[in-house]
Amino acid sequence: MMVRGIRGAITIEEDKALEVIKATQELLTEIQDKNEFQIEEIASILFTVTADIRSAFPAEAARLKGWARVPLLCFQEIEVPGALLRCIRVLVHVNTHKAQEEINHIYLRGAQQLRQDLLK
């Protein structure tokens, strides 16, 4: 079994705690559904947010989803001029037998523009 990274991102309209939580849960659910893993197979999750998101930690969304025992960590993205605003990014590390090519990276809403090459 290998540890594989699954990338994903989603944007929000406004920096409101409930919107951060709901969007993050939507993203995590889609990542789990498209990659068919169980909670026990998650090694850790790293979240980043753009500097314009300050109302909630995305990790809270994972805990509320029942992923309370998974190691979670949040960071702030570097501020690059012209970068996508109000964006939540995630890197989920899972233990899996899947090959790199079988991993489905998920980009939702405005974040789809980030990695067109990874979208299937």
Q: Are 114 and 84 in contact (CB under 8 A)?
A: yes
40 belongs to the catalytic site: no
Catalytic residue among 19, 60, 109, 115: 115
Tokens 């025992």 identify what position? Answer: 69
Q: What is the pTM of this model?
A: 0.94
Q: Which token pair is 75?
A: 């960071």
Q: Where are the domains of the chain?
A: 2-118
Q: What is the mean pLDDT of the chain?
A: 95
Catalytic residue among 19, 26, 41, 63: 63
pLDDT at 114: 86
4 belongs to the catalytic site: no
Report residue 57: phi and psi, to 5°: -85, 130
CATH code for the domain defined by 2-118: 3.30.1330.40
Q: Predicted confidence band at 113 (pLDDT cuts at 50, 70, 90)?
A: confident
pLDDT at 71: 98
Once rounded to an integer, what is the mean pLDDT over residues 4-29? 98
7 belongs to the catalytic site: yes
pLDDT at 43: 98
Distance CA 50, CA 87 (A): 6
54 belongs to the catalytic site: no
